[in-house]
Structure 1
């Protein structure tokens, strides 16, 4: 099983972006995440989260981190994505 943190080493010359991910199977559609990170998460018509911002700004990362911690089903996680083209 791979860790969800995405905290692996970065290749030199790359930039890392933080993304919020949702496990739709684990999610019960409680909606707490959208209250804690409204700039990042919207709820669909059934109350399940939809991540509307792919790459998060620093203030959005803070809000998303709060949503991850508060999720009662542990259906959210933050992921660091390394992009070689973003550094150029």
Structure 2
């Protein structure tokens, strides 16, 4: 049981690391910046949607109600939600 939980935590940590990049800001402090998606997908494996787009429950960028409605699964970490 412990091994399964450890494996899940490891997978989640690796997916979070792969979707971010750390870079220093003007003050020399390191900030974690989410990379921006280069296609119509979003989420941990793909990055954030382009500005003005929402990330749907199914990790797709768009601006429809299905993409942007929080109660339908919009992911505000990866795009805008309404």
TM more than 0.5: no
Using the size of structure 1 for normalisation, the TM-score is 0.22
Scaled by the length of structure 2, what TM-score is found?
0.23
Kindly indicate which of the two structures has a greater share of residues assigned to helix: 2
**Which protein is richer in strand relative to its size?**
1
Bigger CA radius of gyration: 2
Structure number with the bigger relative contact order (C-alpha 8 A, sep ≥ 6) is: 1
